[in-house]
Structures are given as structure tokens and as C-alpha cells.
Amino acid sequence: MSEPFLIGDSMTGGYGKGPDILHDCTIAVNRGEIAVIVGPNGAGKSTAMKAVFGMLNVRGGSVRLDGEDITALSPQDRVIKGMGFVPQNQNIFTSLTVEENLEMGAFIRTDDIRVTMEQIYHLFPILKDKRNQAAGELSGGQRQQVAVGRALMTQPKVLMLDEPTAGVSPIVMDELFDRIIEVARTGIPILMVEQNARQALEIADKGYVLVQGRNAFTGTGKELLADPEVRKSFLGG
Ligand SMILES: Nc1ncnc2c1ncn2[C@@H]1O[C@H](COP(=O)(O)OP(=O)(O)OP(=O)(O)O)[C@@H](O)[C@H]1O
């Protein structure tokens, strides 16, 4: 087995001096794939993502990107190494226009960003139409597109999404998943947390079920969808 492109390997840790939230928890994504993290509320899914992004000091385990140990790097330095992260909340600047949000996303770049911006407008045509509107005026699904677009402006080698479909209708969720699949097809592996477990596992190459900060089940999306235990406990039968 070759090393995943991005892996949070056997991570143990919590917030500040508080108790451990993650216990020997592993999440990873391979080149060219979509990996999905599901599990009950409070299972530590967001915490695991934050640990991979360097927003949490892990007491045990390591994070590796493309074979390099990045456990000691700050989130900013991880962005420079090629990680894109879309957090669950406050992931856009509501008072700035859509285009200004994309420009802000390119903060680490000193080269010409126009080609990337056009690629993002191609991927999310509605953002081009609304590029001069305040992002706060957009619908929930459109805001999530802004957030993903903003992260893509750094030309990441891997994209991490924390509940990209939170609070949107089923139709908008399907559209967002289609866009996410398109991003993956451009060669950017995607590691994402999802509440909509069944739908997310349907598009997942790899799935992780976390329970109380631990890996409970791991497999391909298909395997997890077919697993009677997973179905009964996490997919509503
Ligand atoms: N900033 C924080 N400081 C301290 N504890 C936190 C913090 N954020 C989360 N926690 C705790 O960590 C545990 C895991 O929360 P986390 O948000 O990672 O779970 P989750 O699986 O993402 O849940 P949800 O699906 O509800 O978003 C919870 O007990 C939560 O109270």
C-alpha cells in the first residue's frame, strides 16, 4: 500500500489543556480520490479536520502531506505547502463582494491570479454573475461555492471541506456534490466531513466513521453503505 497523499495518522489530542477529543484517530485521502468523514454529532469530525490543518496540538500521531511530516507546521505554512481548508463556519467575508472574497483567498500568491479566478468562475458560473455583489447577500448554497472558490484560489494540492452542504436543501446539496466531484476530477483530492452520510458515502472513494474520537469503521464508500452495522447505527437502517 502506498502512502496516502494526506494523512492524519493515529492522532490523539484535544483543545488547549482540555481532555483528549481524538484517540488514535486516522483520516486520510489518496491522490485523485474523495474521502468522507461521517459519524454522530460530537464524534470529533471537525476536531480531526482541525488537527490535520494544524489548529490543534496533537499529543500523539503525525500529519503527513505528500510524504512529508508537517505535524509541526502552522496552518499558514500548511497552506503554503498546498493545503486548502474550508471551515464549517465563518468561511467567507460577508461584507466583501464575491470577487473580493476570491482575491482574499489568493493572499499567499504573488503571481497573476486571473487565470485561477476564471477557472473558478467556470466551475461556479453563478459566482461570475454575482461577482460584484456582497457575498452576504447570496443564498446558502452560493455562499458555500464562494467558500470553496476562495480556498481554490491558492491552487491547493488537496482540499479539506468541513460540512460543505450544511443547511442547504437536498437539491442544492446534490448540486454542491456535483461541483465537488468536478473539483476532484481536476486532480485535487478532497477530504470532507459530512452530515449527509448516505449521500456523501455514495460519492466517496474512502469513508471513515468516527465515534467518540475513534475510528469505528473504515472502508470504501460502497463497503460502508453495504455494511449492516454502519447502516443500522449511522445511516438510519
Ligand atoms: N473549540 C473547542 N474547545 C473545546 N472543546 C471543543 C471545541 N470544539 C469542539 N469541542 C468539543 O469536541 C468534541 C467534538 O466536537 P466536534 O465539533 O469535533 O464534533 P463533530 O463530530 O464535528 O460534531 P458535529 O457533527 O456536531 O459538528 C465535542 O465534545 C465538543 O464539545
**CATH, residue 190:** 3.40.50.300
pLDDT of 152 strictly over 90? yes
Q: Which residue has the higher pLDDT, 107 or 155?
A: 155
* 61 is a domain residue: yes
On whether residue 127 sits in a domain, the answer given is no
Q: Is residue 140 part of a domain?
A: no
Q: Which tens digits make up the pLDDT trace of 158-196?
A: 999 999 999 899 999 999 999 999 999 999 999 999 999
Q: Is 99 within 8 Å of 56 (Cβ atoms)?
A: no
CB of 45 within 6 A of ligand 1: the answer is yes
DSSP 190-210: EEEE-S-HHHHHHT-SEEEEE
What is the CA(47)–ligand 1 centre distance, in A? Answer: 6
Residue ID of nearest Cα to ligand 1 atom 18:
44
Q: What is the pLDDT of residue 29?
A: 98
Please indicate, yes or no, if residue 230 is contained in any of the structural domains: yes
Look at residue 21 and tell me if it is in a domain.
yes
Does the residue 144 lie in any domain? no
Beta strands 34-38 and 206-211: pairing type? Answer: parallel
Q: How many domains does the chain have?
A: 1
Sheet holding 190-193, edge to edge: 83-86, 158-162, 190-193, 34-38, 206-211, 214-219
Residue 90 above 90 pLDDT? no
pLDDT at site 18: 92
DSSP assigned state of 134: B
Q: What is the pLDDT of residues 98-145, one digit of tens each?
A: 999 999 989 888 898 999 999 999 999 999 999 999 999 999 999 999
The answer as to whether 34 is a domain residue is yes
Provide mean pLDDT across the span 46-55: 97
- Which of 37, 45, 196 to mutate for ligand 1's pocket (most ligand atoms within 8 Å of CB)? 45
Would you state the pLDDT for residue 237?
66
Domain membership of residue 58 as a residue range: 6-82+156-234
The rounded mean pLDDT for the chain is 95
Residue 186 is assigned to a structural domain of this protein? yes
